[in-house]
Amino acid sequence: MSPKLKSILAHLTILGWIVAFIFNRMDPDSVTGFYLRQTLGLYLFILIGGLIPSIKVLIVMLLFVLWVFSFVGATQQQQKEIPYLGPVFQRWFKNI
């Protein structure tokens, strides 16, 4: 599976992320690893943001915009960090 396809797959659903993670373990590449870390952080923030009732919609909308930004980078096969959170996710999940 190509790095581009694995990176895009990681963005589609949690299940897609797991499949991309498995394929990246078999044939590692830095682009997919970058997007696995980034999308894992986004998914976790979406789950946590969804638990805060008063600002749930605002957080989920903001994270969706960041997800789209990341998805576009994945389709172009460029390692584009999402603003503000991208470097944090890369540090937090550096072992992925």
Identify whether the C-beta of residue 39 lies closer than 8 Å to the C-beta of residue 60.
Answer: no
How many structural domains are present in the chain?
A: 1
- Predicted confidence at residue 55, as pLDDT, reads 82
CB atoms inside a 10 Å sphere around CB 65: 11
DSSP per-residue letters across the chain = --HHHHHHHHHH-HHHHHHHHHHHHHS--HHHHHHHHHHHHHHHHHHHHTT-GGGHHHHHHHHHHHHHHHHHHHHTT---PPTTHHHHHHHHTTT-
Identify whether the C-beta of residue 59 lies closer than 8 Å to the C-beta of residue 31.
Answer: no
For 32, the domain range is 3-92
pLDDT tens track of the chain, all 96 residues? Answer: 899 999 999 999 999 999 999 999 999 999 999 999 999 999 998 888 878 888 888 888 898 999 999 999 999 989 999 999 999 999 999 988
Is the whole-model pTM more than 0.75? Answer: yes
